[in-house]
Amino acid sequence: MSLIKLKLDSLLDITRAISKNTTEDDLYKIFYYTLLVNPQLDHIAMFVIEDKKWHCKFSTVDQVTLASTFTLEDVKLGDIEDEISTVEEVFPAMKEVGFDLVIPIAHKEQVLALVLVSDNNIIEVDEEIDHAITTFVQTVASIIMTAIENKRMSKLALKQEALRKEIEIAREVQRMLLPKKVAEIDGCEVLVKYIPNRMVGGDYYDYIHLSDDEFILCIADVSGKGVPASIIMSNFQAGLRLLAHSGKPLDEILQDLNNMIYLNASAEKFITTFLAKCNIKNKTIEYVNAGHHAIHLYSQNKIIDLMEGSTIIGAVNPLPQINVATINYSEGDVLLMYTDGLLEAKNEEEEDFGSERVAEILRKNGNKSLKFIVDTILTDLNEYIQSDQYDDDLTILSCKF
């Protein structure tokens, strides 16, 4: 069989394989056998960059197969050009195991692979044949690596599309779970500011009307993002709304919620939450803080941090201890609840905005309207982080009595 016919048959086999959507491993095998039957090539090996490391895809030299991976430090990509080099220029150790030439394979100006060959029989006979063979190797390898790179890009595009759809589903679930609007309540004003993150986090807030005198306010943060967080949030919401109308006290409601989340989610998924049962007639706030950061009550120009409660829910079952606290409020008092997307927002020095700043803004402006208070918090936050784009969901639920 002539060398020209061998090349044409090889190219035909490879193009057929690519058109049949052959796997990466099979394409490497086809390339290997194409080189193996070429009489001018003594030793052959192919190294490909995957996960920032060189991996040996095939070799006729056992020592290379045993050392199947070498780091980028061993081969300086900056020293590799599109032109064929000797192993002494790129990887001197390969000379000892029978290789002479390094043939770089590039795609879109990026080196993706190296083919190593022995040229002992080629250069000694005819330099023209050497050039023809190495050019053929480089051409065929480029065709294969381009096909493989296109496969990888297609897989990446599919993954990105799947992620996009997951985010859309999670956003829709989250949108359906959150209250469309907070009902008007005689004796107090309630305001919500919810700013979702692009990746969809696990912020949740709720208002549950119990009677003409009582209602429950809730703010929660589910660990994780996407669909898993939305599923846990939906379990939490369903359980909370059912238990809120059961007449059970807050400690039993929290214990039941913990049991439900613990049984339906892995230990890595948990929820921090703050539940407040407000009684307009008695002017009381009965609350429980389950692993959430401090919730602030502005009262008579002072800030009271509401911290009594228990640990996060969903991590251990049963909860070891639950402390329910009751506090009286006066006319003009403000209850300010928010998620960690606010206090953990960072400036250029990676410093948190912090709950102390939020509390101080509330203390200075507690006698103003809820809208003014929330707008001031967000203005100060944006100035602090030099942006109006946040890395996490941000929710502020406020109530002025």
Q: Report domain 178-400's class.
A: alpha beta
Cα–Cα distance measured from residue 316 to residue 125, given in angstroms and rounded to the nearest whole number:
77
CA-to-CA dists, residue 260 to 141, 187, 240, 257, angstroms: 57, 34, 10, 5
Cα–Cα distance measured from residue 219 to residue 343, given in angstroms and rounded to the nearest whole number:
15
> What is the predicted pLDDT for the residue at 339?
92
Task: List the structure tokens of 272.
Answer: 């921090």
- The tens digit of pLDDT for each residue in 53-107 reads 778 888 887 765 556 555 555 555 445 555 677 777 777 777 777 787 888 887 7
Paired residues of 204 in beta bridges: 220
Higher-confidence residue of 132 and 123: namely 132
- The tens digit of pLDDT for each residue in 139-194 reads 888 888 888 888 888 888 888 888 777 777 766 766 676 776 766 778 889 999 98
- pLDDT at residue 125 is higher than 50: no
What beta strand segments (E) does 122-188 contain?
A: none
Cα–Cα distance measured from residue 390 to residue 392, given in angstroms and rounded to the nearest whole number:
6
By residue count, the chain amounts to 401
**pLDDT-derived band of residue 18, with 50, 70 and 90 as boundaries?**
low
Task: List the structure tokens of 241.
Answer: 């709304």
Count of other CB atoms within 10 angstroms of residue 160:
10
Cα–Cα distance measured from residue 38 to residue 129, given in angstroms and rounded to the nearest whole number:
12
Domain locations in the chain?
Answer: 3-155, 178-400
**pLDDT-derived band of residue 34, with 50, 70 and 90 as boundaries?**
confident
Task: List the structure tokens of 239.
Answer: 């359980």
Please state whether 202 falls in left (phi above 0), alpha (psi between -120 and 50) or beta. alpha
3-class DSSP state for residue 297? Answer: strand
> What is the predicted pLDDT for the residue at 129?
42
The stretch 269-277 carries a mean pLDDT of 93
> What is the predicted pLDDT for the residue at 124?
47
DSSP 95-109: GGGT--EEEEEEETT
Q: Which of 336, 335, 215 is nearest to 282 (CA)?
A: 215
Count of other CB atoms within 10 angstroms of residue 281:
10
Among 26-30, 58-62, 84-88, 273-277, whose mean pLDDT is lowest?
84-88
- The tens digit of pLDDT for each residue in 304-346 reads 999 999 999 998 999 999 999 999 999 999 999 999 889 988 9
3-class DSSP state for residue 222? Answer: strand
**pLDDT-derived band of residue 126, with 50, 70 and 90 as boundaries?**
very low
CA-to-CA dists, residue 250 to 111, 169, 269, 270, angstroms: 63, 32, 22, 19
Q: Does domain 3-155 have CATH number 3.30.1490.270?
A: no
Cα–Cα distance measured from residue 220 to residue 295, given in angstroms and rounded to the nearest whole number:
12
What beta strand segments (E) does 223-343 contain?
A: 271-279, 284-290, 295-299, 302-306, 309-310, 325-328, 334-338
Task: List the structure tokens of 386.
Answer: 């030099």
